[in-house]
Structure 1
Amino acid sequence: MGHVSIRAQASFSDPFVLQLAESLEDSLSASPSSASSSTLSSSLPLQRIRESSAETLISTPWPSRKDEPFRFTDTSFIRYSQIEPVSTQKRNSEILDNLTETQFPNAVIIDGFVSNLTIGPSDLPDGVYFGSYSGLPDELTNRVSEFIGNFDSGDLFWSINGVGAPDLTVIYVPAGCKVDNSIHLRYFSGETGDRESKRLPVSNPRVFVLVEEGGEIGIVEEFVGIDEEGFYWTNPVLEVVVLKNAKVEHSYLQKESMAAAHIKWTFVRQEAESEYELVEVSTGGRLGRHNVHVQQLGPDTLTELTTFHMCVNDQTLDLHSRIVLDHPRGCSRQIHKCIVAHSSGQAVFDGNVRARGIDLETARRALISSFGSEVIEKFPNRVIRDQARNHVKCLL
């Protein structure tokens, strides 16, 4: 892939963030696959993500405890490590060799690359696609590209993934198709660093899911630590688009090394009458943070988040969720449970809902009307009360 010109726009950058972004950019440019013109033309959405993320990074400092979203989450051990991009030319075949046949999921993703697929087109319903964006059939490329990169910006770590993602894995479900068996993604960090030298390899896996109207699918994400004390940073992003009357069941199991950092973004957009369900269990990582942002884009939409975090070591496990319900009869249910079983462990939960369910102008009129109604209701005469109330409504 070509450079995204971070250096040329860097006059207001945090020097550390700029250096990290440049190293990610250089590591991708050095990859033999990035020089292929066919790869470039078939990965334009990923290039757009890189460019927009680079623009965000040049004005975003590394977060500190003074920043509200990170008030209880200390990321300094990442900040003061020697962060290095994983080598895109090193595929850890030992991981695949050590997996028995019964352990293989549908896909093994190592350092952001799909390194093994045990499911092919013949194993999926007609029209379902699962694989790299570059392998999309021509008839699907434009359709999928409509939605890629159209999400609201996340934080610094979202943008780091955008600059550093080496590939884009796509799951596509056509209209009315119900996929009976869940697609299982198992993620590994093939390269680990060293705690004494503080060399911290970072990987940036990225997956995009599009479920057309009336489609249904289950997705399992499993993040596995090969070595209990492996020193690495996994920085994944999952984007999900659930169109009208479609359904996604998302299972997420995070059991990284106890010395690792794991910072994940899950961004979901739901259209009318759709359903998205997340079930999460997180137990790994010296620092584990999951940012879940869900936006309901139509009425009669259901969002369910059920999560469990358990700290059994010197860990910080953090869940930041945000659900936006802007339409009538939007519904959300959320359960979060956590156990801290270590004296130095810490669990953080920050859940945000802004539930309006009506358009902005109606909401504004209702607020103004209710603001004055406290006085209007003091009129002892019911006729006068009604006249005053109706007069205010007419003015609004």
Structure 2
Amino acid sequence: MFTSNSFHNHPSTMSSSTSHFFLPSPFLRHRPKPPPKPKLLLPIRSASTDPVVADIAEKLTASPSASPHLQPLRDRSSRSLLSKSWPSTKDEPFRFTNTSFLRSSDPVPAPFSLSLSTPPSVFAGSIADLPKSHNISSYLDSDPDGSLGDLFSDLNAIAAPDVSVVYVPAGVRASDGPVHLRFGYGAVEGGGDAGRMPVSSPRVLVVVEKGAEVGIVEEHVGLGEGEEEDDGGRCCWANSVVEVVIEEGGKVRHSYIQSMPLRSAHTKWTFVRQEASSSYEFTEICTGGRLSRHSLHIQQLGPDTSTELSSFHVSRSNQIQDLHSNIVLDHPRGFCRQLHKCIISHSSGQAVFVGNVKVNRLAQQTDAGQLARTILLAPNVTVTVKPSLQIIADDVKCSHGVAIGDLEKDQLLYFRTRGIDEQTARNALLFAFGAEIVSRIPFEKFRKSITSEVQRVLESKQTPSL
């Protein structure tokens, strides 16, 4: 069993290439008594602190004791929280994203389950179990001065019970399959806007050394039944952070899948640091959650660096799908491509995409492009698309574009003239729209399961066209 402080191999599920780790879940009858809660070096309340933030922070620090590797990060984040207020639509980063239902909830620290499989050439487990010769603690905090993250990244830092580490030694090419991280979150009956909200805070650190390659599949799902729209009592909040460090010449293919219950929330930060000649390919599929907010910060730290981002969101009744990305290029010959797609199928659905690419003065001969495409299937839909290029260098090739609308009539006509009814035609076109992103997941096993899930979501309760 994986306790809050360390990983232990489960003897009945171990093999040469697969290992499974678990945090105690709310569904286990017997759980070990948690150790005393950690004491932060500084209080998380002062005269100027937002009382709502202070109350939530104090409740979340009642979770089991964190790994000692986390203590410097917890201390830094506790200081940062002293000056933060709960984000509102008056704050620019949250101008289009309403988080008030989380603010009014009664948070309760909650465990989560983590099942993990990995190629034999890659270490995956608790940071406490990593050999001391691999000193990677310095990589733990991607935001040492607190200028990149926000309230949610700080809350994760003070509440995370441990750090799950994926470590790929120099020169290793993990070709036996991806590292698969599957996070499961429990729900409680009697949830709702003002009810008790179980909050889980997983944290992952990925370190890929010089010349190494690895694939990662990161899944976030709900546990138990009652995850459909008409379920009035189940809710949970996952607040996760993933840090990725790619050294010179390293390559990471990262797939992120979020299909949590429709009354839940998932706030997530992903920090990526890429050194010279490294490559990072990221594919995101989000279909679940009442609120899904992903903040993605990528910094290219050397020349000849490549970053490719693809995302596909589906927003149904009372859902907010939000992606905020920030890519910083500081060195010559950087390459960056970003494609964001979204389908909104209900009038109460909402989608937000705010993407920023900053090309600084030394990033000459940069090639960067952004494209956002959104399909609206209902009237009075709220969609915010805001691609942005900040270019200081003068020798670059950069572009961005946006397209928003319903399906084209001539596309539907093509199907109708071949005897296919309109609804079947619409379903086929919508699926093909998302399939461009799904097909970029490089692992067939997961690509097939995601394809089935996306098809199920798109065909459920379709709303007539505009």
Pair 1:159 & 2:183 matched: no
Alignment coverage as a number of residue pairs: 320
User: Which of 65, 69, 72 lines up with 2:96 in the alignment?
Assistant: 72
2:249 is matched with which residue? 245
Report SS of the residue matched to 1:46. helix
The correspondence of residues 244-393 of structure 1 with structure 2, limited to 5 A, is 244-356=248-360, 358=362
**Aligned 8 A contact 1:218 1:248 in 2:** yes
Displacement after TM superposition at 1:357 (Å)? 5.2
AA aligned to 1:69 is: P
**Aligned 8 A contact 1:258 1:313 in 2:** no
Unaligned runs of 5+ in 1: 29-33, 35-39, 89-108, 368-396
Report SS of the residue matched to 1:276. strand
Pair 1:15 & 2:51 matched: yes
1:58 is matched with which residue? 82
AA aligned to 2:279 is: E
The correspondence of residues 31-46 of structure 1 with structure 2, limited to 5 A, is 34=65, 43-46=67-70
Displacement after TM superposition at 1:356 (Å)? 2.2
Unaligned runs of 5+ in 2: 1-36, 365-390, 395-466
Relative to structure 1, the CA distance from residue 130 to residue 353 in structure 2 (aligned partners, 3 Å threshold; closer, same or farther) is same
Partner Cα distance (2:60, 2:300) in 1:
33
Pair 1:185 & 2:181 matched: yes
Relative to structure 1, the CA distance from residue 193 to residue 327 in structure 2 (aligned partners, 3 Å threshold; closer, same or farther) is farther
Q: Normalising by structure 2, what TM-score?
A: 0.65
User: Which of 72, 76, 82 lines up with 2:106 in the alignment?
Assistant: 82
**Aligned 8 A contact 2:178 2:215 in 1:** yes
Displacement after TM superposition at 1:359 (Å)? 7.2
Partner Cα distance (1:344, 1:313) in 2:
5
Displacement after TM superposition at 1:151 (Å)? 3.2
Q: Name the larger-Rg structure.
A: 1
Relative to structure 1, the CA distance from residue 366 to residue 199 in structure 2 (aligned partners, 3 Å threshold; closer, same or farther) is closer
CA RMSD of aligned residues (A): 2.1
Partner Cα distance (1:175, 1:63) in 2:
41
Partner Cα distance (1:365, 1:263) in 2:
32
AA aligned to 1:145 is: S
AA aligned to 1:59 is: S
Relative to structure 1, the CA distance from residue 357 to residue 300 in structure 2 (aligned partners, 3 Å threshold; closer, same or farther) is farther
Partner Cα distance (1:359, 1:280) in 2:
27
Partner Cα distance (1:183, 1:291) in 2:
22
Displacement after TM superposition at 1:22 (Å)? 1.1
Report SS of the residue matched to 2:235. coil
Displacement after TM superposition at 1:150 (Å)? 4.0
The correspondence of residues 64-213 of structure 1 with structure 2, limited to 5 A, is 64-86=88-110, 88=111, 110=113, 114=114, 116-117=115-116, 124-125=120-121, 128-140=122-134, 142=135, 144-151=136-143, 153=146, 154-180=149-175, 181-192=177-188, 194-196=190-192, 198-213=195-210
**Aligned 8 A contact 1:326 1:359 in 2:** yes
1:220 is matched with which residue? 217
Relative to structure 1, the CA distance from residue 81 to residue 326 in structure 2 (aligned partners, 3 Å threshold; closer, same or farther) is same
1:4 is matched with which residue? 40
Relative to structure 1, the CA distance from residue 9 to residue 343 in structure 2 (aligned partners, 3 Å threshold; closer, same or farther) is closer
Displacement after TM superposition at 1:12 (Å)? 1.8
Partner Cα distance (2:263, 2:138) in 1:
39
Residue by residue, what CA displacement relative to the aligned partner does 1:358-384 show, whole Å, maximum 9, x if unpaired? Answer: 179xxx9989xxxxxxxxxxxxxxxxx
Provide the identity percentage: 49
Relative to structure 1, the CA distance from residue 150 to residue 132 in structure 2 (aligned partners, 3 Å threshold; closer, same or farther) is same
Partner Cα distance (1:82, 1:339) in 2:
32
Report SS of the residue matched to 1:26. coil
AA aligned to 2:124 is: F
AA aligned to 1:310 is: V
